[in-house]
A = this chain, B = another copy of it.
Amino acid sequence: MEVVNRYVATRHHIEGAPTEADFEVKEETARWAPDSGEVLVRNLYLSIDPYQLNRMKRSSASHLAVDSILPGQRIAAYAGGEVVASACEEYKAGDVVAGVLGWEDYTLFKPSPAVLMSKVADSAAAADDAGFPLSHHISVLGTSGMTAYGGLFEVGKPVKGEKVFVSAASGSVGSLVGQFAKIAGCYVVGCAGTKAKVDLLKDKLGFDDAFNYKEEPDLKSALKRYFPDGIDVYFENVGGEMLEAALANMNTYGRVALSGVIAEYTGGGRRAVPDLLDVIYKRITIRGFFAWDFLPKFAEFNAIIADWIREGKVKVVEDVSDGLESVPSAFAALFRGQNVGKKLVKLA
């Protein structure tokens, strides 16, 4: 079987903030054969995540952990889709799957323990057994949920009653971290960059408080106001000045779960110059991590998160654009803070 596969590719390595002009939509012919052992998936929802920018750089620490993205080449990404043809027993045509696919119309994959892929439902029309739409499997039940759950509970380790600060709190990961921390009995404050996002955090997602960092001339004082008793856990998505301000307001034995530093990805902002005396004398732990660290616990985390969604304890915020050609603008918009919740692209 042959299909025409349109895919999004970078035109060159990207070093600063991405723009639509950095990308192009290309075409190739994808060939599936019955004896290939491969599965051909028509993609339905694509995950649009800031970390992909690091993969697009010529040189980045990211390349040590994740394959770099070469100009002109297909881009692997978390996504969900429908099996069109299968040459292996585990999958059959019509199955709906979620896992590592790509920013493209079709993806071929060969099942192996090294490939994160799970079967979600028996047909695209049906929801999964739990009644979740496919998009949830690319957001809250995908890598965003894994990052939020693992980062908060295995790295941040909040204890009931502790104070948790979340930056980029209306984003794909932050919006979940805050809700998870509330479930764990913590006091939770988030920051975001618009009034609408701040309202969402307070009114819909149950944060104890939230603020617009763009309206705070002095982030250290702002955090002192929102955390008069100090911060115990900081879930870091931003970097730069925000990290400095959080460290200045952390309590003894505070923990920084370093998930991302979107303000530092583009090289446009000022990088964090943490006060290391704070880290020493307050015995703070700063620990970097990413979603794949928690892969062995993916099913366990998802079972818990799914229960929370069913019980109404976790609200899922998804921000969906339409069509493969919208991937570049959707991706670029992440770095201008234009998404609310998880950014997805729905394919026709």
A264 at the binding interface (Cβ < 8 Å): yes
A283→B151 CA distance, assembly (Å): 11
Chain B residue at minimum C-beta to C-beta distance from A275: B61
Q: A286-B285, A286-B286 are in contact. Are A60 and B277 (CB under 8 A)?
A: yes
- Asked if A283 meets B290 with Cβ closer than 8 Å, knowing A64-B252, A252-B64, A252-B65, the reply is yes
Using CB atoms, name the residue of chain B closest to A278: B61
Q: Quick one: CB contact mask for A251-282 with B, threshold 8 Å, 1 for yes?
A: 01000001111001100000111111111111
Of the candidates B271, B272, B280, B288, the one whose C-beta lies within 8 Å of that of A280 is: B288
Please name all residues of chain B whose beta carbon is closer than 8 Å to the beta carbon of A243 when the two chains form the complex. 276
The complex places the Cα of A258 from the Cα of B275 at a distance, in Å, of 12
Q: Is A26 an interface residue (CB 8 A)?
A: no
Chain B: minimal CB distance from A278 (Å)? 5
Q: Pick from B273, B278, B288: contact of A281, CB below 8 A.
A: B288
Cα distance A280–B283 in the bound complex, in angstroms: 19
| Bound CA span A280–B257, Å | 9
Least CB distance from A18 to B in Å reads 16
Cα–Cα, bound, A62→B61 (Å):
33
Report the minimum CB–CB distance from A31 to chain B (whole Å).
34
State A210–B285 Cα separation when bound (angstroms).
Answer: 28
Contact at B285–A62, with CB atoms within 8 Å? no
B290 and A276 within 8 A (CB): no
Of the residues B239, B283, B289, B293, contact of A289 by C-beta under 8 Å = B283
Other A-B pairs beyond A60-B277, A243-B276, 5, CB < 8 Å: A61-B280, A62-B277, A261-B280, A281-B290, A284-B287
A residues apposed to B, CB below 8 Å:
54, 60-62, 64-66, 239, 243, 252, 258-261, 264-265, 271-290, 293
Q: Can you give 15 contacting A-B residue pairs, CB < 8 Å?
A: A54-B277, A60-B281, A61-B275, A61-B278, A62-B281, A239-B276, A261-B276, A264-B276, A265-B277, A278-B288, A279-B288, A280-B289, A283-B287, A285-B286, A285-B287
